[in-house]
């Protein structure tokens, strides 16, 4: 996994609450057995005027010019600013895969749905929770070329005017993301504990251990 | 010391290791796998040269992409076919049991798990699917995970988790006639909102919940995720234990007796502390219909579509405006005036035998309205289909000009051929009414099986409580 340390990047505002993972990446793209290549289909139903299908070449598809990511000033944005309960609905990890493949590295919102929030950390995306008033202020401050600097080590966001806003990430998650660590390898360091747990549990609940 | 909640008990029983920041390595007793969220997890195992930690704790079934028409013809869509075949070859390679499309036990993963006794009280259950919360109906700690976590659970039989907070939703009193588990859970979501349960595990309790069958309890926990909670729970009681007796994967003999003694403790202690308690009165709940594009946009069937002008909060007002526009509805329009193009009875929310019986009871001897183009009845598993046919329910449906299909997810998310066309209104017993969920431009109204069946006959929504069903 790609580590996340600091990022200074353009911000794209998506001013809508309760954006669900079906909207982030519609189900027809879930048929892929690969992990990459979802970026062109991110927000497919909002981004294009036609109906997208897997493996479609998106270069000549009609764009919905009203959709924020299609506006010239947000090309190359790596930070998404949005509203509460972002990523609700289906557990599909294709949602962070699509956001990451498109180029987003951080998402700022007043709240996130739990599964999506979790999935972001597994894919090098930093979801940042800020109080609704601050998110509101950032929306109001947005101007052409609006960039933010995010420092995960220091847990701060710096606005163009130089103002620093603090945020909080669980220690364990922050450590893994800062170092781009593989969760499975870390958990397997506890293999002995897992085996000891199994031995002890098998006495309490033998019916769960009758198989191989 | 204060007593423990059911969630506290299940959590404490599965902690393998605790980190300094409070995150824990939690042991997973059962993982269910399906074709959509597993291929990249198996690929990850292969790339890193890892193996499943305990092969037999995994059980796989393809459901999302499976056709619900004649199975002998195979899967026409090559992309869907590849995904289903990939699950098959991955399970073969790693030695994991899979119920094939031709197996009578095949069905929707969340229907199959309890039906087989593969998910049991007291277990931790995960699946790369948010509706894994369904299994919490049996007092199991069950939650949906992403594909990276599927790989993690395969490789380590554990997951890294932080404990959620405890919420109790108490539904007191008795539900009136025509008011089902689906109506109760929709009313709860309408009240607390789709983020109301975020960060919590919700235990559902109270007289109206206790009175439900296991099928009804699964409907409730299924939609806990629609209230933002990763897991829903219902305490174990005689209804739970009776349900599991004799299931193929359930313990037998002395193990059964020992398991039952443990399961009987799976309830919150009377002095347990919840971080939040919300109470409802079942007698006040009416049959529900969702009108918008989020499950919280739901109202009693005798209400009218809301007027955005009445909403003070600008973000909410904009949400209502967008939803009305997408759904093609007018502010103030009566819900019973909404005309339906299609009806779908199925999904992991409402495709169990009791759901099919409820739908059949409403329509017996009547016919689908001419204006309704299609009514799909999709049982949750091959075994449910068999049971329904033994009871003659299939005849009642086909005589009403409903289509009786093979089991699978079907029009719940329209990954197979079953879907809505743009602009079509559908009365659906599924769990999500997001834009495009049942097909590009499709308009979903979430309802109970009885409400869906009655709407199929009338061509518009009707109040089944008034019909005295
Ligand atoms: S029936 Fe619908 S909600 Fe349930 S698992 Fe299938 S697609 Fe998901």
Quote ipTM for the complex.
0.94
- Which ranges of A49-131 does DSSP label H, i.e. alpha helix? 94-102, 114-121
If one counts every other C-beta atom within 10 angstroms of the C-beta of residue B257, the result is 10
Average predicted confidence (pLDDT) for chain A:
95
Q: Which residue has a Cα nearest atom 6 of ligand 1?
A: B409
Residues 6+ apart with CB under 8 A from A47: A63, A64, A67, A69, A70
Sequence-distant (≥ 6) Cβ neighbours of residue B110 within 8 angstroms: B32, B127, B129, B131, B132, B134, B135, B218, B222, B348
Q: What is the mean pLDDT of residues A5-10?
A: 98
Q: In this predicted structure, what is the pLDDT of residue A93?
A: 94
* pLDDT-derived band at B51, boundaries 50, 70, 90: very high
- The beta-carbon contacts of B1-5 under 8 Å, at least 24 apart in sequence, are B2/B271, B2/B272, B2/B273, B3/B268, B3/B269, B3/B270, B3/B271, B3/B272, B3/B273, B4/B268, B4/B269, B4/B272, B5/B166, B5/B168, B5/B203, B5/B268, B5/B269, B5/B272, B5/B273, B5/B274
pLDDT given at position A210: 87
- Residue B127 marked ligand-binding: no
Residue A212 in this model has a pLDDT that exceeds 50: no
- Which residues on A lie below 8 Å from B87 (Cβ)? none
Q: How many separate helices (H) and strands (E) can be counted in chain B?
A: 15, 19
Mean pLDDT on B396-419: 93
pLDDT in tens, B143-153: 999 999 999 99
Contacts of A143 (CB under 8 A, 6+ apart): none
How confident is the prediction for chain B on average, in pLDDT? 96
With beta carbons less than 8 A apart as the criterion, state whether B434 and B314 touch.
no
SS3 of residue B398 by DSSP: helix
Determine the length of chain B: 469
Max CA separation in chain B (angstroms): 64
CB-nearest to A190 from B16, B318, B432 is B16
- Residue B269 and residue B3 in contact, taking contact as beta carbons nearer than 8 Å: yes
Give the residue from chain A lying closest to B78, CA to CA. A31
Strands (E), A30-163: 79-82, 106-109, 126-129, 147-151, 156-158
Q: Is B5 on the interface with A (CB under 8 A)?
A: no
CB B39 within 8 A of CB B304: no
- C-beta separation of B178 from B464 below 8 A: yes
Residues B23, A172 contacting (CB under 8 angstroms) = yes
B195: left (phi over 0), alpha (psi -120 to 50) or beta: alpha
Could you tell me if the CB of B62 is within 6 A of ligand 1? no
Cα(B432)–Cα(B293) distance, integer angstroms: 8
- In contact, A191 and A183? CB cutoff 8 Å: no
| pLDDT for the residue numbered B208 | 98
- Does the annotation place B348 within a ligand binding site? yes
Q: Where are the alpha helices (DSSP H) in B328-425?
A: 353-363, 382-390, 393-399
pLDDT digits (tens, 9 = 90+) for B268-296: 999 999 999 999 999 999 999 999 999 99
Residue A182 Cα, ligand 1 centroid: separation in angstroms? 30
Chain A residues inside the 8 Å CB shell of B315:
17, 83-84
- Residue A38 CA to ligand 1 centre (angstroms): 22
Question: Please, how many CA atoms are within 13 Å of residue B387, restricted to the half-sphere of its CB?
Answer: 16
Q: A176-180, B66-70, B259-263, B310-314 — which one is most confidently predicted on average?
A: B259-263
pLDDT per residue over B78-134, tens digit each? 889 999 999 999 999 999 999 999 999 999 999 999 999 999 999 999 999 999 999
Q: Which of B195, B228, B414 sits opposite A27 (nearest CB)?
A: B414
Helix axes B353-363, B449-458, angle to 10 degrees: 30
Q: List, in order, residues 6 or more apart from B260 with CB less than 8 Å away.
A: B241
At residue B71 the predicted structure's pLDDT band, cuts being 50, 70 and 90, is confident
A183·B160 Cβ contact <8 A? yes
Whether the per-residue pLDDT at A86 is higher than 60: the answer is: yes
Q: Do B413 and A17 touch (CB under 8 A)?
A: no
Q: How far is B437 from chain A (nearest CA, A)?
A: 7
* Distance (Å) from CA B380 to ligand 1 centroid: 10
Neighbouring CB atoms inside 10 A of B31's CB total 27
- Of B221, B257, B235, B248, which Cα lies nearest the Cα of B118? B248
**Given this model, what pLDDT does residue B420 score?**
95
- In this complex, is the C-beta atom of B76 within 8 Å of any C-beta atom belonging to chain A? no
Mean pLDDT of all residues in B203-215: 98
User: Which position has the higher pLDDT, B414 or A120?
Assistant: A120
- Residue B72 clears pLDDT 90, i.e. is over it: no
Q: For residue B469, name the pLDDT band (cuts at 50, 70, 90).
A: very low
| Torsional sign, CA A130, A135, A136, A141 | positive
CA angle B68, B70, B75 (to 5 degrees): 70
CA distance B408 to B348: 9
Pocket test for ligand 1, best of B129, B226, B352, B437 (most atoms within 8 A of CB): B129
Q: Is B419 in the pocket of ligand 1 (CB under 6 A)?
A: no
pLDDT tens for residues B417-453?
899 999 999 999 999 999 999 999 999 999 999 999 9
For A45, how many CA atoms within 13 A lie in the half-sphere containing its CB? 21
Spacing, Cα B91 to ligand 1 middle (Å): 21
Q: Give the atom of ligand 1 at the shortest distance from the alpha carbon of B349.
A: 4
Other CB atoms closer than 10 Å to residue B78's CB: what's the count? Answer: 9
- Inform me whether the pLDDT recorded for B467 exceeds 70: no
Selecting from B147, B155, B294 the residue whose C-beta is nearest the C-beta of A18 gives B294
The Cα B205–Cα B209 span in angstroms is: 6
Lowest mean pLDDT among A1-5, B4-8, B105-109, B134-138: A1-5
User: Rounded to the nearest 5°, which phi and psi values hold at B356?
Assistant: -70, -40
Nearest 5°: CA angle at B412, between B410 and B417? Answer: 35
* CB-nearest partner of B130 from A23, A85, A115: A115
Q: Is the CB of B347 under 6 A from ligand 1?
A: yes
Share of chain A above pLDDT 90, in %: 90
Pocket test for ligand 1, best of B68, B406, B431 (most atoms within 8 A of CB): B431
Which residues on chain A are in Cβ contact (under 8 Å) with B23?
170, 172-173
Q: CB distance B55–A122 less than 8 Å?
A: no
CA angle B48–B50–B55, rounded 5-degree value: 150
- A91 contacts on B by Cβ (under 8 Å): 37, 128-130, 144-146
- At B415, is the pLDDT very low, low, confident or very high (cuts 50, 70, 90)? confident
Contact A207 B437 (CB under 8 A): no
Distance between CA atoms of residues A46 and B183, nearest Å: 31
B157: left (phi over 0), alpha (psi -120 to 50) or beta: left
Residue located nearest, by CA, to atom 2 of ligand 1: B412
pLDDT for residue B70 = 83
Give the separation between CA B4 and CA A78, rounded to whole angstroms: 44
Q: Do B432 and A34 touch (CB under 8 A)?
A: no
């Amino acid at each position: 996994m790609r580590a996340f340390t600091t990022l200074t990047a353009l911000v794209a505002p998506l001013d809508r609450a309760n954006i669900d993972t079906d909207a982030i990446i519609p189900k027809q793209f879930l048929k892929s057995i690969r992990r990459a290549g979802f970026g062109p289909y991110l927000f497919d139903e909002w981004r294009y005027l036609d109906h997208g299908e897997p493996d479609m070449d998106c270069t000549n598809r009609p764009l919905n010019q009203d959709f924020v990511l299609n506006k010239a000033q947000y090309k190359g944005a790596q930070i998404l600013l949005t509203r509460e309960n972002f990523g609700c609905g289906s557990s599909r990890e294709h949602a962070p895969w699509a956001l990451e493949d498109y180029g987003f590295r951080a998402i700022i919102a007043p709240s996130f749905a739990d599964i999506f929030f979790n999935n972001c950390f597994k894919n090098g995306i930093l979801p940042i929770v800020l109080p609704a008033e601050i998110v509101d202020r950032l929306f109001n401050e947005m101007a052409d070329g609006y960039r933010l600097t995010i420092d995960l080590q220091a847990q701060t966001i710096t606005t163009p005017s130089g103002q620093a806003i603090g945020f909080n990430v669980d220690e364990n998650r922050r450590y893994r993301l800062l170092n781009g660590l593989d969760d499975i390898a870390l958990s397997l360091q506890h293999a002995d504990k897992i085996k000891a747990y199994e031995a002890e549990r098998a006495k309490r609940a033998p019916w769960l251990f009758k198989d191989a | 010391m204060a007593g423990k909640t059911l969630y506290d008990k299940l959590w404490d029983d599965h902690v393998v290791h605790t980190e300094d920041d409070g995150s824990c390595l939690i042991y997973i007793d059962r993982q269910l796998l399906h074709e959509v969220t597993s291929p990249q997890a198996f690929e990850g195992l292969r790339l890193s040269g890892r193996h499943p930690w305990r092969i037999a704790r995994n059980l796989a079934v393809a459901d999302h992409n499976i056709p619900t028409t004649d199975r002998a013809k195979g899967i026409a869509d090559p992309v869907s076919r590849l995904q289903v075949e990939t699950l098959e070859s991955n399970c073969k390679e790693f030695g994991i049991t899979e119920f094939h499309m031709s197996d009578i036990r095949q069905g929707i993963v969340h229907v199959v798990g309890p039906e087989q006794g593969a998910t049991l009280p007291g277990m931790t259950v995960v699946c790369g699917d948010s509706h894994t919360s369904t299994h919490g109906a049996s007092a199991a700690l069950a939650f949906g995970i992403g594909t990276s976590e599927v790989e993690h659970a395969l490789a380590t039989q554990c997951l890294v988790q932080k404990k959620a907070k405890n919420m109790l939703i108490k539904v007191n009193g008795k539900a009136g006639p025509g008011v089902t588990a689906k109506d109760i859970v929709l009313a709860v979501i309408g009240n607390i909102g789709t983020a109301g349960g975020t960060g919590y595990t919700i235990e559902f309790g109270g007289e109206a919940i206790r009175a439900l069958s296991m099928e009804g309890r699964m409907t409730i926990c299924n939609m806990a995720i629609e209230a933002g909670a990763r897991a829903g729970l219902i305490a174990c009681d005689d209804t739970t234990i009776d349900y599991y007796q004799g299931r193929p994967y359930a313990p037998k003999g002395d193990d059964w007796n020992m398991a039952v003694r443990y399961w009987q403790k799976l309830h919150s202690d009377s002095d347990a502390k919840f971080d939040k308690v919300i109470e409802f009165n079942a007698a006040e709940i009416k049959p529900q219909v969702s009108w918008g594009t989020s499950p919280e946009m739901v109202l009693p069937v005798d209400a009218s579509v809301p007027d955005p002008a009445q909403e003070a909060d600008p973000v909410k007002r904009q949400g209502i405006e967008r939803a009305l526009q997408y759904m093609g509805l007018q502010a103030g329009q009566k819900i019973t005036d909404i005309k339906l193009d299609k009806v779908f009875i199925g999904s992991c929310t409402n495709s169990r035998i009791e759901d099919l019986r409820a739908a059949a009871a409403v329509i017996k001897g009547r016919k689908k309205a001419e204006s309704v183009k299609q009514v799909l009845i999709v049982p949750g598993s091959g075994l449910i289909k068999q049971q329904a046919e033994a009871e003659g329910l299939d005849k009642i449906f086909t005589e009403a000009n409903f289509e009786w299909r093979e089991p699978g997810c079907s029009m719940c998310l329209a990954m197979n051929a079953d879907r809505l066309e743009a602009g079509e209104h559908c009365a659906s017993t599924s769990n999500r009414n997001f834009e495009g969920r049942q097909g590009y431009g499709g308009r979903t109204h979430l309802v109970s099986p009885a409400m869906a069946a009655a709407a199929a006959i009338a061509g518009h929504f009707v109040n089944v409580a008034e019909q005295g069903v």
